[in-house]
Amino acid sequence: MRIAIIDGQGGGIGKHITEKLRRELPEHIDLLALGTNALATSVMLRAGANEGATGESAVIYNAGKVDLIVGPISIIVPNAMLGELSPAMAVAIASSPAHKILLPLHRSGIEIVGLKPEPLPHLIEELVRRVKEFIA
């Protein structure tokens, strides 16, 4: 099983996801850090990802080669993350056959009706729970 964690800007969300997944999942699960920039990739690698790659080409290339993609919902929104997430990246992620478990954060200017706002740690706990269900 190979899981891509995709994040950008400072990589803070990806860092927290990576740390929690690394603690909760078996060692044979590969975590791939895909950052929209080198800082985000570096932060996720230090948090426990097995491998990392950076930028548009890396995200497009790897989106279809993983079993599961996790990150904030903005990874499927063109020009999100202050423009770091290109339209081609958003299309590659959204079109990937990989299952996606995304955090409903409002930073991308998208509000999902019916969801109540939760603190990030609670959302990450739920994401990890869903990843475990997917793996099982």
Residue pLDDT, tens place only, 7-59? 988 889 999 999 999 999 999 999 999 999 999 999 999 999 999 999 999 99
| Domain CATH for 47 | 3.40.50
Into how many domains does the chain fold? 1
114-127 tens-digit pLDDT: 888 888 999 999 99
Range of the domain at 9: 2-135
Q: Hey, what are 124's tokens?
A: 């990450």
Provide the 3-class DSSP secondary structure of residue 2: strand
What's the whole-model pTM score? 0.93
Q: Hey, what are 132's tokens?
A: 């475990």
Provide the 3-class DSSP secondary structure of residue 55: coil
Burial of 116 (0-12, 13-18, 19+ CB in 10 A): exposed
